[in-house]
């Protein structure tokens, strides 16, 4: 090694070292950001300072768990699926529920019949999350007569309801490989639930009714503080760069679910959000209050979304849910009140007439 070469090599070594350190740092920061978004609790690095509570007197009480965990439904062990004769179909069904857009969205590799949402965006963790709109009672309660259509609906029909409304798309053929797979998956999920029963933690949380109407103006503030960072100020969410769906799904506008979707009912939206949003919330650790859930629902529902011809729905109008926002109604309440509340008077009138 000559006289110039040695310091040069040292310099290179130093630079390589620095580069490695910088890469490691970026990696660690990335991991921490990823973990905190994915809801994993990070250990505290140093014992935290005793908190100085200046705002103790005005601090809002932390929302409590929405349901006691004892006896709550849990999906069968995924590892046991291989022992099923139709394991391949069940697995494909789960994949379709989780990544619907990749297969059936606007750029779907099987068919292009839906708007880019995944079933899992609303049926969380592939339809297994307690109070996350899970599929625990699908196998045990279908076919059933539904008042919305006035007909008996089987699982295939119910799945297509969500394709045509929640995914603002077209129905899937009943005998297609995809339909069979989704039905197989739902039957497998609910295989331990006795016929006719609905397990604890099924569906969506029923948020207690307020005495006042839900308020879109209050809801806008909540939206800006709690939702906008992911779902964006214009409600359009964050599409994936390759067009295969969304990192953060849209909440209104042309790419969202249509006016005939269950989530457009204020109580469904409020209940879904109360137990599951902002991302990281669960029924055990909710992050917003009942009132906030109603008001943010009102804000989102005050925005435009695709409309659907609902004239054939609810053939018996007296069966419309109290928060179905489209007339005609069998009671004397306005569309406005059916959309935002107050719902208690509507509920009381309904109870009297039944």
Q: How far apart are CA 306 and CA 117, in angstroms?
A: 14
**Candidate segments 45-53, 56-64, 131-139, 311-319, binder of ligand HEC by CB under 6 A:** 131-139
Least distance between ligand HEC and beta carbon 69 (Å): 20
Write the CB contacts of 315 (distance below 8 Å, at least 6 apart in sequence).
Answer: 149, 150
Helix or strand (DSSP H, E) at 231 = helix 228-231
Q: How far apart are CA 119 and CA 330, in angstroms?
A: 33
Contact between 185 and 94 (Cβ < 8 Å):
yes
Least distance between ligand HEC and beta carbon 182 (Å): 5
Torsion sign (Cα): 258, 260, 263, 264 = positive
CA dihedral 256, 261, 266, 272 (to 10 degrees): -80
Question: Helix, strand or coil for residue 86?
Answer: coil
Q: Which of 210, 279, 303, 310 binds ligand HEC (CB under 6 A)?
A: 279
Contact between 121 and 249 (Cβ < 8 Å):
yes
Q: Which of 90, 288, 322, 346 binds ligand HEC (CB under 6 A)?
A: 288
| Site residues (CB under 6 A) for ligand HEC, limited to 12-41 | none
Per-residue mark of binding to ligand HEC, 141-170 (x: CB under 6 A): -----------------xx--xx--xx---
Taking phi first (over 0 means left), then psi (-120 to 50 degrees means alpha), and beta for anything else, what does residue 204 get? beta
Phi, psi torsion values for 281, nearest 5 degrees: -70, 150
Q: Which of 75, 89, 90, 121 binds ligand HEC (CB under 6 A)?
A: 121
Record the tokens describing residue 19, joined without a space: 């580069």
Whichever of 185 and 329 has its CB closer to ligand HEC, that residue is 185
**Candidate segments 52-60, 189-197, 243-251, 340-348, binder of ligand HEC by CB under 6 A:** 243-251
The answer to whether 226 contacts ligand HEC (rule: CB under 6 A) is yes
The answer to whether 113 contacts ligand HEC (rule: CB under 6 A) is no
- In the chain, at which residue ranges do the beta strands (DSSP E only) sit? 144-146, 151-153, 238-239, 246-248
Whichever of 300 and 346 has its CB closer to ligand HEC, that residue is 300
Nearest to 288 by CA among 66, 80, 112: 66
**Candidate segments 15-23, 27-35, 258-266, 307-315, binder of ligand HEC by CB under 6 A:** 258-266
Say what angle helices 266-276 and 290-301 make with each other, to 10 degrees: 130
The secondary structure of residue 264, as a DSSP letter, is: G
| Site residues (CB under 6 A) for ligand HEC, limited to 44-63 | none
The answer to whether 267 contacts ligand HEC (rule: CB under 6 A) is no
Q: Which of 131, 181, 182, 193 binds ligand HEC (CB under 6 A)?
A: 182
Phi, psi torsion values for 81, nearest 5 degrees: -65, -30
Least distance between ligand HEC and beta carbon 193 (Å): 11
| Site residues (CB under 6 A) for ligand HEC, limited to 68-107 | 97, 100
The answer to whether 122 contacts ligand HEC (rule: CB under 6 A) is yes
The answer to whether 252 contacts ligand HEC (rule: CB under 6 A) is no
β-pair partners for 152: 145
The answer to whether 244 contacts ligand HEC (rule: CB under 6 A) is no
The secondary structure of residue 333, as a DSSP letter, is: -
The answer to whether 261 contacts ligand HEC (rule: CB under 6 A) is yes
Least distance between ligand HEC and beta carbon 176 (Å): 13
Q: Which residues bind ligand HEC (CB under 6 A)?
A: 97, 100, 117-124, 133, 135, 137-138, 158-159, 162-163, 166-167, 182, 203-204, 226-227, 229-231, 248-251, 257, 261-263, 268-269, 272-273, 277-279, 288, 296
């Amino acid at each position: 090694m000559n006289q110039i070469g040695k310091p040069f090599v040292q310099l290179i070594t130093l630079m390589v070292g620095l580069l490695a350190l910088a890469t490691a740092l970026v990696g660690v920061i990335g991991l921490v950001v990823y973990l905190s978004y994915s809801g994993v609790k990070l250990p505290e690095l140093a014992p935290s300072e005793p908190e100085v509570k200046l705002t103790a007197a005005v601090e809002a009480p932390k929302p409590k768990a929405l349901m006691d965990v004892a006896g709550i439904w849990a999906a069968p062990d995924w590892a046991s699926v291989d022992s099923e004769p139709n394991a391949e179909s069940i697995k494909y069904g789960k994949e379709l529920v989780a990544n619907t857009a990749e297969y059936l969205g606007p750029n779907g590799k099987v068919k292009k019949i839906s708007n880019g949402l995944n079933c899992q965006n609303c049926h969380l963790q592939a339809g297994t999350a307690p109070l996350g709109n899970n599929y625990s009672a699908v196998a045990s309660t279908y076919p059933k007569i539904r008042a919305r259509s006035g007909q008996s609906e089987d699982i295939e029909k119910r799945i297509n309801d969500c394709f045509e409304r929640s995914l603002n798309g077209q129905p899937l053929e009943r005998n297609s490989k995809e339909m069979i797979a989704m039905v197989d998956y739902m039957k497998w999920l609910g295989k331990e639930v006795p016929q006719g029963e609905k397990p604890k933690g099924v569906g969506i949380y029923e948020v207690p009714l307020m005495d006042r109407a839900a308020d879109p103006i209050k809801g806008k503030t909540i939206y800006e503080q709690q939702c906008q960072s992911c779902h964006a100020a214009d409600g359009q969410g964050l599409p994936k760069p390759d067009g295969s769906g969304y990192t953060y799904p849209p909440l209104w506008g042309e790419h969202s679910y249509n006016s005939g979707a269950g989530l457009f009912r204020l109580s469904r939206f409020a209940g879904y959000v109360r137990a599951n949003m902002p991302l990281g919330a669960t029924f055990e650790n909710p992050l917003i209050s009942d009132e906030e859930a109603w008001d943010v629902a009102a804000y989102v529902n005050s925005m435009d979304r695709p409309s659907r011809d609902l004239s054939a729905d609810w053939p018996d109008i007296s069966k419309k849910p109290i928060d179905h926002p489209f007339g005609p109604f069998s009671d004397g309440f306005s569309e406005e009140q059916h959309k935002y509340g107050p719902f208690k008077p509507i509920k009381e009138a309904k109870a009297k007439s039944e």
